[in-house]
Structure 1
Amino acid sequence: MRNILKATTLENKFPLLAVEDGCILSKNADITACFEVVLPELYTVTAEEYEAVHAAWCKAVKVLPDFSVLHKQDWFMRESYKPELGKEDMSFLSRSFERHFNERPYLAHTCYLFLTKTTREQSRRQSNFSTLCRGHIIPKEIDKESAARFIEATEQFERILNDSGFIRLRRLPTDEIIGTEECAGIIEKYFSLSQEHTACLQDLAFSADEMRIGDNMLCLHTLSDTEDLPVSVATDTRYERLSTDRSDCRLSFASPVGLLLDCNHVYNQYLFIDNSDENLQKFEKSARNMQSLSRYSRSNAINQEWIDEYLNEAHSNGLVSVRAHFNVMAWSDNAEELKHIKNDVGSQLAKMECMPRHNTIDCPTLFWAAIPGNAGDFPGEESFYTFIEQAVCLFTEETNYRSSLSPFGIKMVDRLTGRPLHLDISDLPMKRGITTNRNKFVLGPSGSGKSFFMNHLVRQYYEQGTHVVLVDTGNSYQGLCEMIHRKTNGQDGIYFTYTEEKPISFNPFFTDDYKFDVEKKDSIKTLLLTLWKSENEEVSKTESGELGSAVSAYIRRIQDDRSIVPCFNTFYEYMRDVYRKELEEREIKVGKDDFNIDNFLITLRQYYEGGRYDFLLNSRENIDLLSKRFIVFEIDAVKENKELFPVVTIIIMEAFINKMRRLKGVRKQLIVEEAWKALSSANMAEYLRYMYKTVRKYFGEAIVVTQEVDDIISSPVVKESIINNSDCKILLDQRKYMNKFDQIQALLGLTDKEKSQVLSINMANHPNRLYKEVWIGLGGMQSAVYATEVSAEEYLAYTTEETEKVEVYRLAEKLGGDIEAAIRQLAEKRRNEK
């Protein structure tokens, strides 16, 4: 059957003439500057910041000349996550993470801004004068002088918004507007309803009932009349799902038709800047006419009152009269789905207290006017009069979470859409001046997912070449450590733990190359002083100096005579048999009040051969921890032992400082769970201060993980050293501490914005996804809440649930100790059960 419908080519009706110097020129002699807009991230903006963003927009709009059009176009496209599986060196767990999120749907956001200079006549055109309705278009000439003034105004506009610190504008070059052979431009993307790099043009079908682009059917909801608008508008609104009685989560007023509308849609926002004085004069004339006709109709009297109120507002507050229009253009290739989309768009507009108006008649002309650079073709009858301040309230002001540009980082998940994000919380913040160190402080009550998050973090740091030293209580990292141990054939993944049969032991005097720098000698001296003196005893300068001299002399002795086995036993014998005699033979005698060597030998006798703790400092394995990249010290069994616990923690610190000093250009990480309590003694105060302040200079970071804030408050040394020198703070679900969170806020120096973010953790989690949220704050300047969502394989590697760990180890025993194979089998079994 022959097609009897009228058809034409896009070329005949195309309203754009050319692109020159990055500007679109239309056949109606309109000139358009194009920008890509980067907005603040969702859930990270406060009410005050929304006010500042609003003020920046208003200030920028006022520099545009008369008869300009501002067209902000926000694209929200459903996309699927594409996993990064092409890397050759990907670990088993990294590959599992990527596969877990394969094809995960999410809503991607892109924002464009088009500033168009049109003419007085063109700005008043009705829909029947649209280029879409004309048989042919005759190009007109551009007024060069007004074009030059407009370009100057757009540069001022760009500068004002970029200087605001919240919004970033980037001028689009010609290639991104018209496209290249490899990549589609914004015009091509618009006609194919896509933001992909490769776009395919499709047939357009316009009718009174529906509009189609290829297989996609469009539905259009408009805000084109004051009757459609809410009684009042604001810069922002309270988002109840993530707010509490103690905190507010704020979103922009138009957020319901932004990222919160989960379908393919474009939100078009127009401001038409006419001559404000002419507009007001026209309203004055209209008011007089209404007054003269008021005796014939009550509606005339009411209209006169409304016009007078508008004029009074304009004159008394110095407001600029503009016209505005807003529309939501959504689409689907499925008629049933389109019905649901219509309902969703309508309900989201109703949340803004707007009147949802589904527009079918003007859909083609509004679609045509929304072509980038064709805002001058907008039908004038679809706009309404308002002021700049009120119109800007209907702009969407937030975007998705963004991934860091840095090559180093960790994988977290967007809390709204569940899309994986690449996040750098160590290097990039330092380069940008947001933080001054890489140290981290982690706070979360029991059961908040603290150890789970830390497993996720250290695993990714390790895979990127970091030397990780962990001090743990509770076997939280046992599964991950054993996986690394087996993967490296026992060369890495060293797990130290204390049992009666195999007590934990070290040898602080051993190094592979017999090199002992100043820090190594000082750390041995500090260890010996801690073993000798109790917490409330002061160490004199003479005692410190003599012990330092003895350590240096012993080290020279073992360097000269390699037959001497470096360990505490031989050091003790040296002090007893050699150094004591040297003291007695000195010309200047050292009295026992200054340095009591007999007391030293008696006190440390228990660590010498045959003593109660002779195992502790005389390890025969002599593992040089310098070359090991993943080391876990499990000290749960000794944490209550007042004699062993401080010694063990000092030796661990000494091992880390040895790495810190000697491994040049290698990232180092020390994670201390609850063991830092032992470091708060008087003897260890300077040691702790030194490490926390110095670690950043050696490409290192110290991380303290705790569940009780009171412990930190009770120690001024720890409070000053740890919290003040940790620019990255990580908090998990704090609802258990809701009643004393003000104290936590004051202690950690959190702003009200950060407090609101922390208290929103886990409040609106997606019911079909298993994850826990975590707040990450960087230097008080940048903060957001992310989700820790992992694959089944990662979950089984990280889990601290006893029953699940037992299940993994039992299966691993059957498979010859292969934990990775056991995890793989159990994960597959769980997926099949689901």
Structure 2
Amino acid sequence: MRNTSKAATLESKFPLLAVEDHCIISKDADVTVCFKVRLPELFTVASAEYDAIHSAWFKAIKTLPDYTIVHKQDWFIKENYAPDLSAEDQSFLSKSFETHFNERAFLNHYCHLFITQTSKERMKMQSNFSSLCRGILIPRDIRDKEAVIRFMEAVDQFERIINDSGYIHLEKMTADEITGTQHQSGLLEQYLTLSRESGASLQDLQLGAEEMRIGNNRISIHTLSDTDDLPGTVSSHSRYEKLSTDRSDCLLSFASPVGLLLNCNHMYNQYLFIDNSNENLSKFEKSARNMHSLARYSRANQINKEWIEKYLNEAHSFGLQSIRAHFNVMSWSDDPTQLKQLKNDTGSALALMECKPRHNTTDAATLYWAGIPGNAGDFPSEESFYTFIEPALCFFTGETNYQNSPSPFGIKMADRLTGKPIHLDISDLPMKQGIITNRNKFILGPSGSGKSFFTNHMVRQYYEQGAHVLLVDTGNSYQGLCELIKGKTKGEDGVDFTYSEDHPIAFNPFYTDDGVFDIEKRESIKTLILTLWKRDDEPPARSEEVALSNAVSGYIERIKLSNTYPSFNGFYEYVRDDYRKILNEKQVREKDFDIANFLNVLEPYYKGGEYDYLLNSDKQLDLLSKRFIVFEIDAIKDHKILFPIVTIIIMEVFINKMRRLKGIRKLILIEEAWKAIAKEGMAEYIKYLFKTVRKFFGEAIVVTQEVDDIIQSPIVKESIINNSDCKILLDQRKYMNKFDDIQAMLGLTDKEKSQVLSINMNNDPKRLYKEVWIGLGGTHSAVYATEVSNEEYLAYTTEETEKMEVMNLASELDGNVEQAIKRLSLKKIKTNKEN
């Protein structure tokens, strides 16, 4: 029986012939070079940068020869996050984080660029000449081999111009990436199945006027193929109102509504057809004359004549190149009931661009067919409109979603738009790339902005990757995490020192394990004694600094010669007795160094004094091997004498780690305690710490919540901010009126200011998270979401009632904090389900 169906095989209609030298050759002798495109990340591009990107595209396209088609194809595919639970040494909290995001849906973006050399005849073909409408495709010969060589040279130049811009990166696709391998699907297979998954099998294609279907996926196409459908004005970028304020603008590319902001499976095709510009303009000149002669018969002819003349005037006045363009959005779903919603969403996205949404059914099949990579020569010419290169480029999407850092080290944050976990390195890779010159961090966030959650989340991940972490806290922000680590390591780590009168923190500033007093140790001792001796508003004279330095050096020599046990008491006695004699012999005047005053001020720290326990400890703090240490000094934060001294004692512990732990990452995080050590006399100490820690594979982090502290303190700027290449800010909207001062103090650009002021402005109500801005070296910055699992929340929480609930349950479970957190997390999940 004869087969009367209209079905045809894909093989018989397939328009491509081969892939040679990593180029696609069509049966009509078109040659196509394929690129993978890496665009800047969403919400990270400023106005000037959008203009620079637009200019780079323009310069690159101007290098291409006539009868070339530029086809940019952006895929936006809904995918689900697959957690990494395979690591054997993964901690309890890391697993809970990964599990929390299991199956989290997000929109993934893949961008490709196809540059096709075709012929003058092919550029003029309409939809009825598409390879879909022909019975047999007979391959043609490439007659002009020289033209192909010139085309390839132009493409190389195109690639170099785009890559040199620094904003976009093009990478040529290989033959395997185009055609696929046994284990990985290729680009052609992915297009014909509308799937990026490996192993997706080819399915029936129904390419009809009423319905387009690939397997179970039903396709809807909206086109921009007529100037009547376009907005009155276009630009390279537009203001995104949801994240903008009256003081700042959040910018996205003009075509962003049909990019990542359109939350469905879709593909955005952008075509530029580079005809011979002179021929196009000559044709328009002839058309204008015809319209002029027919103008008296129809007002429409008169209007068309005016539009054509305006187009010609623009072209000749500014030397613009006449081209044709076309843009379409192809969306799909395997659920027939969602097709209407898809059409509405796509139409709304085009309307946001001030375009007239046109749902195309007439040429849907030929548009899909022309979208096959390498088959742009099959595009129906009647679906394009005449324009110039500059306005056409405004319809190119300009950004992609957040990308994972290639570095093995880093922290896990979340994409602010979709909530997908992002691996982010804010320490090592930026150092290697020269973006930053130190790993130090300055964190600013008011109370309730999620600051302690972010810092807990960060230091926990640093610790799990082998870092030594020392925290100076004034509010028990790290108690839960510390107790969890202590229980997990059976007391080896998670050491918590809480200052109290019964158990004060004490040390011996003159003690060294190896008896070596290097320059750093000597400077540390001098800074400590200077802090004890002088008030904040009383800087030492040069003669006093010299006398103190000589006293410290003399006592150290005494220790080495006499083999006596070093202590502050010994130093005090040395100054009182031996050093006094030396000064008398040198006839040092009292006004140059008042030794009686010096001894009188330091007497409270000598034996029998009020604070004699502080600097004369006979038990050395054995913290060199402890990897997670918390000093909680809230009890003395308002004590003018104890607070700065205890803080310096803690600094000494870290500096000892810094000097002796070779090749191991070290991190010191100072909460509000920095105020005590950022006084006039301590500025050099802080500056020393922030400058020196870089050389020892370490980083110093300062956290504050009071804006006035940084605005009014020159010490903060000189000692901390200028030596912190990584700045981290949380919600600053309550300081909106003061933000110009903050911007000036931190040296933020207008782009960075806009990013900071957009924090938490458009949060997804279905997710519980706070946003945080991270800036690196003044050149790289973005806003991320700090979203954690229930287990992490219970470990990080600073709410007194929640902390007590965890600790009380842990005490019932023999101190097992991990088990307590697991039980409370399950209870919380159950309660949420019931509600």
Residues 580 and 724 of structure 1: is their aligned pair in 2 closer, same or farther, counting only changes over 3 Å? closer
Q: Where does residue 548 of structure 2 map in the other structure? A: 544
Q: Where does residue 81 of structure 1 map in the other structure? A: 81
- Deviation, structure 1 residue 364: 1.3
Q: Where does residue 304 of structure 2 map in the other structure? A: 303
Q: Where does residue 800 of structure 1 map in the other structure? A: 798
Residues 681 and 304 of structure 1: is their aligned pair in 2 closer, same or farther, counting only changes over 3 Å? closer
Moved more, 486-495 or 35-44: 486-495
Q: Where does residue 191 of structure 2 map in the other structure? A: 190
Moved more, 315-324 or 23-32: 315-324
Provide Cα deviations, 1:411-454, integer angstroms capped at 9, x if missing partner. Answer: 11110010110111111111111111111111111111112111
Moved more, 200-209 or 682-691: 682-691
Moved more, 673-682 or 65-74: 673-682
The 1-side partners of 2:559 and 2:13 are apart by 89
The 1-side partners of 2:480 and 2:517 are apart by 34
Give, as a single letter, the amino acid of the residue that structure 2 aligns with 1:746: A
Pairing 1:132-171 to 2, within 5 Å after superposition = 132-142=132-142, 143-171=144-172
Q: Where does residue 54 of structure 1 map in the other structure? A: 54
* Structure 2 SS opposite 1:328: strand
Instruction: Check conservation: 1:271, 1:323, Cα contact below 8 A.
Output: yes
Give, as a single letter, the amino acid of the residue that structure 2 aligns with 1:773: E
Q: Where does residue 237 of structure 1 map in the other structure? A: 238
- Deviation, structure 1 residue 531: 2.0
Residues 621 and 4 of structure 1: is their aligned pair in 2 closer, same or farther, counting only changes over 3 Å? farther
Identify unmatched segments of 5+ residues in structure 2: none
Q: How many correspondences in the alignment?
A: 828
Moved more, 721-730 or 111-120: 721-730
Moved more, 102-111 or 814-823: 814-823
Pairing 1:484-563 to 2, within 5 Å after superposition = 484-535=485-536, 536=538, 538=540, 540-553=544-557, 555-556=559-560, 560=563
Q: Which of 763, 781, 784 is the equivalent residue of 2:782?
A: 784
Q: Where does residue 721 of structure 2 map in the other structure? A: 723
Q: Where does residue 710 of structure 2 map in the other structure? A: 712
Q: Where does residue 748 of structure 1 map in the other structure? A: 746
- Deviation, structure 1 residue 622: 2.7
Q: Where does residue 617 of structure 1 map in the other structure? A: 615
Pairing 1:82-161 to 2, within 5 Å after superposition = 82-142=82-142, 143-161=144-162
- Deviation, structure 1 residue 685: 2.6
- Deviation, structure 1 residue 167: 1.0
Instruction: Check conservation: 1:542, 1:595, Cα contact below 8 A.
Output: no
- Deviation, structure 1 residue 738: 0.3
Residue 360 of structure 2 is aligned to residue 359 of structure 1: yes
Moved more, 530-539 or 726-735: 530-539
Moved more, 729-738 or 701-710: 701-710
Pairing 1:609-688 to 2, within 5 Å after superposition = 609-619=607-617, 621-688=619-686
* Structure 2 SS opposite 1:470: strand
Provide Cα deviations, 1:349-395, integer angstroms capped at 9, x if missing partner. Answer: 11111111111221111111010000001111111111111111111
Moved more, 379-388 or 547-556: 547-556
Give, as a single letter, the amino acid of the residue that structure 2 aligns with 1:409: G
* Structure 1 SS opposite 2:720: helix
Give, as a single letter, the amino acid of the residue that structure 2 aligns with 1:77: I
Provide Cα deviations, 1:271-298, integer angstroms capped at 9, x if missing partner. Answer: 1111111111111111222222223322
Q: Where does residue 330 of structure 1 map in the other structure? A: 331
Percent of residue pairs identical: 68
Residues 206 and 523 of structure 1: is their aligned pair in 2 closer, same or farther, counting only changes over 3 Å? same
- Deviation, structure 1 residue 682: 3.7
The 2-side partners of 1:294 and 1:589 are apart by 110
Residues 697 and 542 of structure 1: is their aligned pair in 2 closer, same or farther, counting only changes over 3 Å? closer
* Structure 1 SS opposite 2:296: coil
Instruction: Check conservation: 1:525, 1:551, Cα contact below 8 A.
Output: no
The 2-side partners of 1:299 and 1:534 are apart by 87
Q: Where does residue 368 of structure 1 map in the other structure? A: 369
Residues 489 and 3 of structure 1: is their aligned pair in 2 closer, same or farther, counting only changes over 3 Å? farther
Q: Where does residue 71 of structure 2 map in the other structure? A: 71
* Structure 1 SS opposite 2:297: coil
Q: Where does residue 260 of structure 2 map in the other structure? A: 259
Residues 541 and 746 of structure 1: is their aligned pair in 2 closer, same or farther, counting only changes over 3 Å? closer
Provide Cα deviations, 1:593-632, integer angstroms capped at 9, x if missing partner. Answer: 6655555444333234443223323445532222221111
Provide Cα deviations, 1:205-238, integer angstroms capped at 9, x if missing partner. Answer: 2222111111111111111111221222221111
Pairing 1:356-505 to 2, within 5 Å after superposition = 356-505=357-506
* Structure 1 SS opposite 2:700: strand
The 2-side partners of 1:512 and 1:14 are apart by 78
The 2-side partners of 1:747 and 1:162 are apart by 34
Moved more, 495-504 or 774-783: 495-504
RMSD between superposed Cα atoms in Å = 2.1
Give, as a single letter, the amino acid of the residue that structure 2 aligns with 1:403: N
Instruction: Check conservation: 2:81, 2:105, Cα contact below 8 A.
Output: yes
The 1-side partners of 2:275 and 2:115 are apart by 14
Instruction: Check conservation: 1:554, 1:571, Cα contact below 8 A.
Output: no
The 2-side partners of 1:821 and 1:485 are apart by 13
Residues 2 and 662 of structure 1: is their aligned pair in 2 closer, same or farther, counting only changes over 3 Å? farther
The 2-side partners of 1:589 and 1:743 are apart by 51
Provide Cα deviations, 1:580-603, integer angstroms capped at 9, x if missing partner. Answer: 69759x965667666555554443
The 1-side partners of 2:540 and 2:110 are apart by 64
Q: Where does residue 201 of structure 1 map in the other structure? A: 202
* Structure 2 SS opposite 1:724: helix
What is the TM-score with the length of structure 2 in the denominator?
Answer: 0.96
Give, as a single letter, the amino acid of the residue that structure 2 aligns with 1:37: V
Residues 302 and 532 of structure 1: is their aligned pair in 2 closer, same or farther, counting only changes over 3 Å? closer
The 2-side partners of 1:496 and 1:610 are apart by 25
What is the TM-score with the length of structure 1 in the denominator?
Answer: 0.96
Q: Where does residue 603 of structure 1 map in the other structure? A: 601
Instruction: Check conservation: 2:580, 2:595, Cα contact below 8 A.
Output: no
- Deviation, structure 1 residue 335: 0.5
Give, as a single letter, the amino acid of the residue that structure 2 aligns with 1:755: K
Q: Where does residue 24 of structure 1 map in the other structure? A: 24
Instruction: Check conservation: 2:711, 2:741, Cα contact below 8 A.
Output: no
Residues 301 and 595 of structure 1: is their aligned pair in 2 closer, same or farther, counting only changes over 3 Å? closer
Identify unmatched segments of 5+ residues in structure 1: none
Give, as a single letter, the amino acid of the residue that structure 1 aligns with 2:92: F
* Structure 1 SS opposite 2:635: coil
Instruction: Check conservation: 1:512, 1:624, Cα contact below 8 A.
Output: no
Q: Where does residue 341 of structure 1 map in the other structure? A: 342
* Structure 2 SS opposite 1:260: coil
Instruction: Check conservation: 1:320, 1:387, Cα contact below 8 A.
Output: yes
The 2-side partners of 1:262 and 1:206 are apart by 25
Instruction: Check conservation: 2:126, 2:380, Cα contact below 8 A.
Output: yes
Moved more, 342-351 or 193-202: 193-202
The 1-side partners of 2:470 and 2:3 are apart by 75
Residue 221 of structure 2 is aligned to residue 220 of structure 1: yes
- Deviation, structure 1 residue 542: 4.3
Residues 583 and 293 of structure 1: is their aligned pair in 2 closer, same or farther, counting only changes over 3 Å? closer
- Deviation, structure 1 residue 405: 0.9
Instruction: Check conservation: 2:684, 2:719, Cα contact below 8 A.
Output: no
Instruction: Check conservation: 2:74, 2:109, Cα contact below 8 A.
Output: yes
Residue 811 of structure 2 is aligned to residue 813 of structure 1: yes
* Structure 2 SS opposite 1:538: coil
* Structure 2 SS opposite 1:637: helix
Q: Where does residue 770 of structure 2 map in the other structure? A: 772
* Structure 2 SS opposite 1:314: helix
Instruction: Check conservation: 1:271, 1:324, Cα contact below 8 A.
Output: yes
Instruction: Check conservation: 1:462, 1:468, Cα contact below 8 A.
Output: yes
Provide Cα deviations, 1:715-748, integer angstroms capped at 9, x if missing partner. Answer: 3233211111111111111111100111111111
- Deviation, structure 1 residue 550: 4.3
